[in-house]
Amino acid sequence: MPTWGYDSYCNNNVTDFIDDYSLDKFLEIVDKTISNIFVEANMGLEILQELDLEFVIGIAIFAIRHNKKFSNNMLNLFIDIIDFLIKEGKFNGWKDKNKRKIKLQHEKKIIQNILIGRNLTFGKLILKPIQFICLNHEY
């Protein structure tokens, strides 16, 4: 699946999932969808595939950038996922593994700022360009 940016939401897996719903409906179901991924796995983060965890963070960051409010438990789960990815992730397929890790660290800071109550503003989403170099051919 094409990946056009190092931001977690910048790939077809995430955008295809989002496109299946209106934005309002997507924001309604995002908690349930993310919870279901972990309930179905019925185990810890180490059991889930790296791309599944990347997908969860992609959905979460997209939702956060659209002002979706998550519980502190969910936000802490996202931080745990990011920490796990940074520590244990292989980042196979990423054109630049370090840029991906740096972006994950930035997304973690966003979530931490939300947890402490800071109001954040975001620029425009990085939309899929017509022509681009895929940054992760394995996604």
Give the burial class of 89: count Cβ atoms within 10 A of its Cβ; 0-12 exposed, 13-18 middle, 19 or more buried. middle
Give the whole-angstrom CA distance, residue 132 versus residue 121.
Answer: 27
Kindly state whether residue 92 falls inside one of the protein's structural domains: yes
The C-alpha atoms of residue 20 and residue 22 are separated, in whole angstroms, by 7
Q: How many domains does the chain have?
A: 1
- The answer to whether residue 3 sits within a structural domain is no
Inside any domain, residue 120: no
Domain carrying residue 69: 12-115
Q: At residue 126, does pLDDT exceed 90?
A: yes
Q: Is residue 133 part of a domain?
A: no
Average pLDDT over residues 10-33: 85
| 80, 89, 30, 102 alpha-carbon torsion, rounded to 10° | 80
The verdict on residue 126 lying in a domain is no
- Confidence at residue 1, expressed as pLDDT on a 0 to 100 scale: 67
Q: Which residue bears the tokens 């899929």? A: 128
Contacts of 54 (CB under 8 A, 6+ apart): 8, 85, 139
In a domain, 132, yes or no: no
Question: What is the pTM for the complete model shown?
Answer: 0.89
Helix (H, G, I), strand (E, B) or coil at 66: coil
